[in-house]
Structure 1
Amino acid sequence: MFSKVSGPLRLADQVAAMLSEEIESGRLAEGDKLPTEVELVKQLGVSRTVVREAVSRLRSAGLVEPRQGRGVFVMPRRIRPLDLEAETAQHTESKVRLIVEVRRPIEGEAAYLAATRATPADLARMRQALEAIDTAVAAGGDGVDEDLAFHRSIAESTGNPVMVSTVRYLGEVLRSGIRVTRANEARSSDFLEAVRQEHHSILAAIEARDAEAARDAALLHLKHAASRLNEADEGFWAETGNLEVDLDATP
């Protein structure tokens, strides 16, 4: 059924791509059972570890489902999660830049809507989130979870369930991107203070009910985040390694 794989790409990437193509093309249809692990190892000429990693990736993408004692089966077709680790996966630097691009329109609009809809309780949560970032950094932490919580609190204050679901869906990607941007910013006290001021500017505009200013502040924050990334040297990017992004994970 399958031919052996080889070449410059990681074997797991090739196997995952091959199986995905079989599913997307319909040659493996909904409810079909994948060949067993032993069969795939024999047909593809790869190790069990490679097969397991490839199948795990398909499972994360919502393409297949393991069933206890029965095997792995093709799932019903649905909108597939984005895959930033497909065979065309790019370097960490490129991935983070793509994430920043996605964040711009979403977070800009979220800030705009928050300025018009946030309740006093919503505003209190945003302030608490900013305080939590300061506390985490002062304690030697990276502030990633707290940073993400701040941006999520803005989305939640829009009262738009689709906006909230979108931000939650992207949670792990945002977490990965924020982890790298904050690691870059932590290299400079000036960067950290700039980020702090940008966050407070977003909140101040939301509290002032100035929707345009809130959107502008959010967009400026992400524009500056991209600029700060431009200042990172090759050594920094080498240290970060490849992002591991699972868009099916629950934030």
Structure 2
Amino acid sequence: MTTRFKSVVPGAHLSDQVADALAAEIRAGRLGVGSKLPTEAELVGQFSVSRTVVREAVSRLKSIGLVDSRQGSGVYVKKAGFSPLNFDARHAESREAVIQMVEVRRALEAEVAALAAQRRTSADVKLIRQAIAALDQAVQAGGDGVDEDVKFHRAIADAARNPFLIGTLEYLGQFLRGATRVTRANEARRADFARQVSEEHEAIVRAIDAGDATKARQAAARHMNNAIRRIEQADPAFWQQEGEQLARKLVSGLGSVIN
């Protein structure tokens, strides 16, 4: 392996810079199918970044199907399969981008909830309820609950036991998290919004626990529909301040996939 990489430019999105550099080598054929990536320590040294940055970059390459790990051996370039999803956010308004991403969540998570209702075990339900409890605790402690919200929905996805759906959600994770950050920031400003979210989550869990796929699908879709409605009803002051800033980051993140 003779490829040498330059240090990244100091600032934000270091992992994106590392991932983009590695992806460019792969797509140009300089790192061919079956080639082993430099070790984590080598990448840390070449890019002058932390191990965390390298791990995040490699995780991104895995999520778009460029590399995979072999236990005890390393990370290797994969044979090209289907092209990863590509988002065009260049013409998206920030508010509209958030709504569109929630629409994507609605399509995916309604089906995930239905499958979870069909396939869940008692252990799955326990983990889902623990995730809800952690979310409630985070909110009561004054947090935004974004990480806990994502973990709650991931617990439901795990119960669905469909690796392709889970892989799609993982690929979309950076964008779904951005949309979640906006919706939760808006919902935290109004007690009625926060109460609605809690009730909607509980309805999803009840349907999954009961094994009712139809109600689970409906409850998950209703949750996303209401999330869109809450964004549309957001106080104009929210959108002019916090909401716009958070959504701009979402659009920027989408743009990084395009470039």
Q: Secondary structure at the match of 2:253?
A: coil
- Residue 17 (structure 2) pairs with residue 59 (structure 1): no
% identical aligned pairs:
39
* Equivalent position of 1:179 in the other structure: 181
Once structures 1 and 2 are overlaid, which stretch shifts more, 162-171 or 105-114?
Answer: 162-171
Alignment of 1:52-131 (within 5 A): 56=17, 59=20, 62-64=23-25, 79-84=82-87, 88-131=90-133
Structure 1 Cα separation of the partners of residues 94 and 198 of structure 2 = 24
The letter for the 2-side match of 1:131 is A
* Equivalent of 1:221 in 220, 223, 235: 223
User: AA paired with 1:148?
Assistant: V
Q: Which residue pairs with 2:205 in the alignment?
A: 203
CA pair 195-205 structure 1, distance change in 2 beyond 3 A = same
Q: Once the 2 structures are TM-superposed, how far is the Cα of residue 77 of structure 1 from its aligned partner? A: 5.6
Decide whether the 8 Å contact of 2:178 with 2:249 is kept in 1. no
1:245 paired to 2:253: yes
Cα distance, 1:239 vs structure 2: 3.9
Query: Normalized per residue, which structure has more helix?
Result: 2
Displacement of 1:204 in angstroms is 0.4
Contact kept, 8 Å, 2:89 with 2:97, in 1: the verdict is: no
User: Residues 59 and 192 from structure 1, CA distance in 2 versus in 1: closer, same or farther, beyond 3 angstroms?
Assistant: same
Match for residue 166 of structure 1?
A: 168
Matching residue's letter, 1:137: V
Deviation at 1:174, TM superposition (A): 1.2
Measured in 2, the distance between the counterparts of 1:182 and 1:60 equals 34
Residue 173 of structure 1 deviates from its aligned partner by 1.3
- What is the rounded CA distance, in whole Å, between the counterparts of 1:200 and 1:149 in structure 2? 15
Alpha-carbon distance in 2 for matches of 1:57, 1:95: 26
**1:112, 1:212 within 8 Å by CA — same for their partners in 2?**
yes
SS in structure 2 of the partner of residue 187 of structure 1? coil
- Structure 1 spans left out of the alignment, 5+ residues: 1-32, 38-47
Shift of 1:89: 4.9
Distance 2:219 2:208 in 1: 10
Structure 2: how far apart are the matches of 1:247 and 1:148?
A: 22
Structure 1 length normalisation: TM-score? 0.68
Which segment is superposed worse, 233-242 or 91-100? 233-242
Counterpart for residue 133 of structure 1: 135
Distance 1:224 1:61, change over 3 A: farther
CA distance in 1, matches of 2:130, 2:233: 30
| Residues 61 and 80 in structure 1, CA contact (< 8 A), matched pair in contact too | no
Alpha carbons of structure 1 residues 221 and 79: separation in structure 2 relative to 1, 3 Å: same
CA-CA distance at 1:80 after TM superposition: 4.4
Structure 1 residues 227 and 124: alpha-carbon distance in aligned structure 2, compared to 1, 3 A threshold: same
Partner of 1:231 in structure 2?
233
CA contact (8 A) 1:171 1:247 kept: no
Q: Which structure would you say has the larger Rg?
A: 1
Deviation at 1:171, TM superposition (A): 1.4
Aligned partner of 1:29 in structure 2 is: none
How does the TM-score come out when normalised to structure 2? Answer: 0.66
Q: How many pairs align?
A: 201
Runs of 4+ in 1 over 2 A off after TM superposition: 55-58, 60-69, 75-84, 89-92, 236-242, 244-249
Deviation at 1:152, TM superposition (A): 0.6
Q: Give the secondary-structure state (helix, strand or coil) at the position aligned to 2:249.
A: coil
| Structure 2 unpaired stretches of 5+ | 27-36, 47-76
